[in-house]
């Protein structure tokens, strides 16, 4: 069996964080990770460095690596950046919209609805975040898709820490309305709905919650 590469370790840890199996503040011990993945600590260190570059973990001298704990200020900054990017993305999507692109987004929203109805928290969270990345991918803009992917991953940490439980269903409904406006090629309504959606997600955050922590081996198993 092939040993995991640095990118495979990054992917596994990102998935565990985004799916809320590894919680903010969890210590990521190098040796435990090396044992879990069956690789050297050097490979683990490279993966942790990559994750620190996109804000999912923080590296502390003499203390090690921890799942990031975004501050209230950082949460607001992440959403401010998303509003800037996604307003223009929505405008560009409308101008280049085709029936095939709209169909692809409608399929995505249908998957969201199913995950919400089945109370599949892991799939629901992943699909709700991926909606925004999917728009960039359908536009053929890989740079934007990658940037949004990083921002959405950071938002997953923020929503884990601060979001209330009822917000996910509202997010799905808002995605469905955005797709309707995109299909109608109604640029102003689509942009307005996207900005309103991101504003609603940000306003659903409760900034005084206490956070649980997870044991790393359980989270990755």
Domain 72-203 in this protein, CATH class: mainly alpha
Q: Domain-by-domain residue ranges, the chain? A: 6-68+210-220, 72-203
Six-digit token pair at 32? Answer: 């435990």
Largest CA distance in the chain: 56
Alpha-carbon distances, residue 126 vs 63, 108, 111, 172 (angstroms) = 31, 11, 11, 12
Alpha carbons 161 and 173: distance in angstroms, whole number: 22
Is a pLDDT exceeding 70 seen at residue 212?
no
Task: Give the highest mean pLDDT range of 2-6, 183-187, 210-214.
Answer: 183-187
Q: Smallest Cα–Cα separation from 132: which of 36, 198, 72? A: 198
Helix (H, G, I), strand (E, B) or coil at 170: helix
Average pLDDT over residues 186-212: 85
Alpha-carbon distances, residue 157 vs 9, 82, 92, 140 (angstroms) = 18, 15, 28, 27
Average pLDDT over residues 48-64: 90
Is a pLDDT exceeding 70 seen at residue 20?
yes
Q: Which CATH architecture has domain 6-68+210-220?
A: Orthogonal Bundle (1.10)
Average pLDDT over residues 160-186: 86
Task: Give the highest mean pLDDT range of 2-16, 84-98, 117-131, 199-213.
Answer: 84-98
Per-residue pLDDT band for 14 (boundaries 50, 70, 90) equals confident
The average confidence (pLDDT) of the chain is 88
CB-based contacts of 205, cutoff 8 Å, min separation 6: 75, 158, 159, 162, 163
Q: Which residue has the higher pLDDT, 32 or 158?
A: 32
Alpha carbons 65 and 84: distance in angstroms, whole number: 31
Six-digit token pair at 128? Answer: 């709700």
Predicted local confidence at residue 157, as pLDDT: 79
Task: Give the highest mean pLDDT range of 37-46, 115-124, 156-165.
Answer: 37-46
């Amino acid at each position: 069996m092939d040993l995991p590469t640095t990118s495979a370790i990054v992917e596994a840890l990102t998935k565990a964080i985004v799916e809320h199996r590894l919680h903010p503040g969890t210590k990521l011990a190098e040796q435990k990770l090396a044992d879990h993945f069956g690789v050297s600590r050097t490979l683990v260190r490279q993966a942790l460095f990559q994750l620190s570059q996109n804000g999912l973990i923080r590296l502390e001298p003499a203390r090690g690596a921890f799942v990031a704990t975004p501050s209230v200020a950082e949460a607001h900054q992440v959403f401010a950046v998303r509003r800037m990017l996604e307003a223009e993305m929505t405008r560009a999507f409308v101008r280049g919209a085709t029936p095939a692109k709209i169909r692809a987004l409608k399929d995505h929203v249908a998957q969201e609805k199913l995950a919400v109805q089945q109370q599949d928290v892991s799939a629901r969270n992943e699909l709700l975040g991926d909606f925004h990345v999917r728009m960039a991918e359908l536009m053929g803009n890989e740079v934007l898709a990658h940037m949004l992917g990083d921002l959405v991953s950071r938002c997953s940490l923020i929503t884990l820490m601060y979001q209330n439980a009822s917000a996910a269903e509202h997010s799905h409904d808002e995605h469905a309305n955005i797709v309707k406006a995109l299909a109608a090629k109604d640029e102003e309504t689509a942009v307005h709905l996207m900005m309103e959606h991101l504003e609603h997600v940000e306003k659903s955050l409760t900034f005084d919650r206490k956070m649980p922590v997870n044991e790393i081996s359980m989270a990755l198993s």
